[in-house]
């Protein structure tokens, strides 16, 4: 663990029992269970993991299983921090693994998108995209400007530094495949829990959780996506189960390296078209008391159409609501939020509109070889996910864990939602009326003579 925000690791560990992820656990056990955890100070981005000699010796003597899940996931980071954390950090972990006296298995958490330049991917380690020593040398010697200038040439067909460095990291792991059992698990987009600790639990605002959080607030009203494309989402508890199951299987076989895709695209594919007819029913059935506008989400099939609609649907209301926040003494944040989304879309476009298929025969085989008890405890069978039902749970998880609203607030939230609905209707009438007046003024015709423009204006406005 790293010291963080002025708190030492022992203090951070004391905060664990208060985390909502452990609520279900603590219903049946005492906080003493956390005494099993022994924190060691370190930092994956520092040479030798920043672990002192005494602690390192404890790990060498006592550890049997290593799960390496630390990484920087920032798509906007340049090469220097991503190489130091994702590549060199993995190298330091593997160096430590080679010293551990009784290592049963090493489990490396990778990403399905390390091979994102391919549209269909198998469960194997593909050829490295570059010589890691050359990349590390450039990171250590070039200035920031020089490194940024050559970044695109270095990445080649990788969309960002994250996928590039995580690809290199797999090769750092592969170097040790003859030394001890290794499993590489590649999750896709990790989303809220399917079952454990409770259905819908999440702490992440990335992906659909973020979309639905913004939509429930009423501030995200358009979503750019190809609704018929497969969007590969995987619940977080299935990812955890697969890490444990893959480690068990590797230790049991006691040889070599195995790669597993933790994915749904080829076994139980999700498409946003599944939710198109019900997403707004979900939003209105379980609204937020903290909503600032009536929730209504529509899918937009291209980035340019989304940008056009965002001007009218996102930015105009954001300006109005930010003005109200200023008047009432609040902090205006909506315009800045939408501006940040606008600026990030170009970097995310490939992930929004590209369809990948991650073949997972080894994962299916892993599920099949577990006995009945283990397959229930460590469920990795994604074929049993019913997506419409799952997204109701996900939305309720977003409501509970991200927006901090319990079931007790639901009645008040529904009352407020009804009020926001009428405000929304009034707003639409005002916008249509304003455009009608503008057209009448531009053409020099009276309002009665230009009344024919109202239906096409409304149709166009609703399509944006």
The pLDDT score that the predictor gives to residue 451 is 85
- C-alpha distance across the termini of the chain, in Å: 47
Tokens 């609204």 label which residue? 287
pLDDT, residue 325, reads 78
pLDDT for 71: 92
Predicted pLDDT at 20: 87
User: How far apart are alpha carbons 2 and 11 in whole angstroms?
Assistant: 11
Handedness of CA 440, 445, 449, 453 (dihedral sign): negative
- pLDDT score for 364: 96
The residue length of the chain stands at 464
Q: pLDDT below 70 — which residues of the chain?
A: 461-464
Q: Which two tokens stand for residue 363?
A: 């994962």
Nearest to 190 by CA among 206, 213, 169: 206
> For 302-335, what is each residue's pLDDT tens digit?
888 888 888 888 888 788 888 877 888 877 788 8
CB 230 within 8 A of CB 265: yes
Residue of 70, 77, 74 whose CA lies nearest to 96: 70
Cis geometry, peptide bond prior to residue 162 (ω within 30 degrees of 0): no
> What string of DSSP letters covers 293-314?
S----EEESSHHHHHHHHIIII
The answer to whether 227 touches 271, Cβ cutoff 8 Å, is yes
Between the alpha carbon of residue 239 and those of residues 9, 77, 191, 252, 378, the distances in Å are 26, 25, 10, 20, 10
In this prediction, residue 463 carries a pLDDT of 63
| pTM for this entry | 0.90
CA distance 149 to 205: 31
b/e 321-343 (16+ beta carbons within 10 angstroms → b): bbeeeeeeeeeeebbebbeebee
Structure tokens at 119: 């549209």
For residue 282, the model assigns a pLDDT of 95
Residues 93-122 pLDDT 10s: 999 999 999 999 999 999 999 999 999 999
pLDDT for position 5:
79
């Amino acid at each position: 663990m790293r010291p963080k925000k002025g708190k030492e690791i022992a203090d951070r560990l004391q905060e664990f029992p208060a985390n909502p992820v452990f609520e279900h656990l603590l219903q049946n056990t005492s906080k003493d269970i956390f005494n099993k955890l022994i924190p060691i100070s370190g930092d994956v981005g520092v040479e030798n993991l920043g672990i002192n000699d005494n602690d390192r010796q404890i790990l060498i003597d006592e550890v049997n299983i290593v799960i390496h899940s630390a990484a920087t996931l920032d798509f906007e980071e340049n090469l220097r921090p991503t190489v130091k954390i994702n590549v060199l950090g993995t190298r330091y972990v593997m160096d430590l693994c080679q010293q551990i006296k009784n290592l049963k298995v090493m489990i490396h958490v990778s990403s399905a998108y390390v091979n994102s330049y391919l549209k269909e991917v198998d469960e194997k380690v593909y050829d490295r995209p570059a010589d890691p020593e050359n990349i590390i040398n450039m990171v250590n010697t070039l200035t920031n400007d020089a490194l940024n200038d050559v970044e695109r040439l270095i990445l080649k067909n990788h969309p960002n530094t994250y996928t590039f460095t995580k690809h290199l990291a797999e090769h750092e792991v592969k170097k040790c495949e003859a030394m001890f059992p290794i499993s590489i698990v590649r999750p896709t987009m990790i989303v809220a829990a399917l079952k454990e600790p409770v259905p819908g639990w999440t702490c992440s605002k990335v992906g659909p959780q973020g979309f639905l959080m913004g939509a429930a607030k009423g501030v995200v009203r358009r979503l750019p996506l190809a609704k018929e494309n497969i969007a590969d989402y995987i619940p977080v508890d299935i990812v955890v189960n697969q890490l444990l199951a893959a480690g068990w299987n590797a230790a049991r076989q006691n040889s070599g390296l195995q790669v597993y895709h933790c994915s749904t695209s080829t076994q139980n594919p999700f498409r946003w078209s599944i939710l198109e007819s019900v997403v707004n029913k979900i939003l209105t059935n379980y609204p937020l008391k903290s909503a600032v506008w009536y929730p209504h989400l529509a899918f937009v099939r291209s980035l340019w159409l989304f940008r056009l609609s965002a001007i009218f649907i996102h930015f105009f209301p954001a300006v109005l609501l930010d003005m109200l926040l200023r008047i009432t003494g609040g902090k205006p944040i909506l315009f800045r939020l939408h501006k940040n989304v606008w600026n990030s879309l170009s970097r995310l476009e490939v992930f929004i509109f590209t369809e990948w298929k991650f073949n997972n025969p080894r994962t299916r085989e892993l599920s099949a070889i577990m006995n009945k008890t283990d397959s229930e405890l460590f469920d990795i069978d994604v074929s049993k996910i019913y997506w419409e039902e799952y997204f109701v749970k996900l939305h309720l998880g977003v409501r509970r864990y991200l927006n901090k609203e319990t079931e007790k607030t639901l009645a008040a939230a529904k009352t407020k939602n009804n009020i926001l609905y009428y405000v929304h209707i009034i707003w639409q009438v005002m916008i249509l009326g304003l455009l009608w007046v503008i057209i009448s003024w531009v053409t020099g015709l009276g309002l009665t003579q230009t009344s024919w423009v109202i239906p096409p204006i409304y149709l166009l406005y609703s399509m944006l």
